[in-house]
Amino acid sequence: MSRLPVPLRPVDRTSVECRGQRLTYFGGCDYYRLATHPGVVAAAREALETLGMGVAAARGTTGNHPLYLELEAWLARFFATEQALLIGSGYASNAVVAQGLAGDVSHALLDENAHASLQDAARLLDCPAGTFRRGDPEALQRCLRRLPRGARPCVLTDGLFGRDGKVAPLAEYLDRLPARGYLVVDEAHSAGVLGARGRGAAELAGVGDDARLIRTCTLSKAFGAFGGAVLAGARFVERVVERSRWFAASTPIPLPAAAAALAAGRLIATDAAMRARLRAHAEEVKSAWVPREGGAMDEGVPILAVWPPTLSGAQRFRRALLQRGVHPPLIRYPGSPPGGYFRFAVSSEHTPDQLAALRETLARFAPKFHLGEP
């Protein structure tokens, strides 16, 4: 347990208490703070009181509750896909997709910075796997050209990279993908955030109706709840139900979490002002940054990753954030610098003063730092 960070106690929707100090919180992925929205909490409470915690059985036996069907039907409508299948977590949804595809693809091609869940899923495809440079359609095309005639490739990528806020060029990937290929996109960070209606990176790229596209999402980020989903055609979802041992042998999410996800989704779908506020807050904070050459930021993305070039620089930045009352969200993912890097997640609910504190601290230190990975 010594490797875990100091625990944080939420104070309100945008503040936490850490070591006795109240700080503005720009960590996590609850982009609309729906995990504490009164309507979402009320939906979870009502489900808990009337339905209990869960079904205590796999959906293929006696655990197929009507609430799961209602949530799946709503997700399919919202994401404009034929069908949605509820999975126990966003991480597991990629493994479930891989089990559904296994035997139907000949090669896996992973974005080199793909989320760990996609890397694990690629192993379940049981075929040769390789990587291509992140966000580079030409690098993908070179990999595709090296495949044997008749190959059935599966390309796996994040829609929005939570690591640093970059958006994958999905349209360009599909332009290069053969007709018999698949593009698996993890919409974990983009679902509810990107696109005119919040339908994710696929909507932003205008590729949501491509039959080669299979999407997954989590309900624990923008939706503020818990669980995951596969978003695909009805035939593929049926194949997943038949083939995936992960789906068949696991208990679905607690019923209060399903009720909360449904309430949160309806808020995202109908509250255009909330979505616009998130975008505006992201742009306001990023206005403090004068990008280095080649350091352009994806517009409207509520994620800002700051990579200090030295350990001492990271320590000075951390102290400056604390002095302005901002919790320093230091990340130490595999492959990050020895001292880690700072990943800020802006929400729709941060106040002008909170946004100003972060923006002004960034303006002081940003010229010395890298935006995203150096």
* DSSP states along 301-320: --EEEEE-SSHHHHHHHHHH
| Tokens standing for residue 141 | 């095309």
Q: What is the average pLDDT across 349-364?
A: 94
pLDDT per position as a tens digit, 152-182:
999 999 999 998 899 999 999 999 999 999 9
pTM listed for this prediction: 0.94
Q: What is the average pLDDT across 308-318?
A: 85
Sheet holding 341-345, edge to edge: 330-331, 341-345, 303-307, 370-371
pLDDT per position as a tens digit, 115-140:
999 999 999 999 999 999 999 999 99
Query: Quick check: helix, strand or coil at residue 205?
Result: helix
- The answer to whether the CB of 32 falls within 8 A of the CB of 267 is yes
pLDDT for residue 307: 85
Q: How far is CA 296 from the centre of its chain?
A: 21
pLDDT per position as a tens digit, 206-246:
998 899 999 999 999 999 999 999 999 999 999 999 999 99
| Tokens standing for residue 188 | 């974990």
Residue 2 above 80 pLDDT? no
Q: What is the average pLDDT across 334-338?
A: 62
What number does CATH give the domain 9-30+272-371? 3.90.1150.10
CATH class of 38-270: alpha beta
Question: Please, which residues have CB within 8 angstroms of residue 87's CB and are 6 or more apart in sequence?
Answer: 93, 96, 216, 227, 228, 229, 230, 247
Strand pairing report for 341-345 and 228-232: unpaired
Distance CA 141, CA 138 (A): 5
Domain extent listing, the chain: 9-30+272-371, 38-270
pLDDT for residue 312: 83
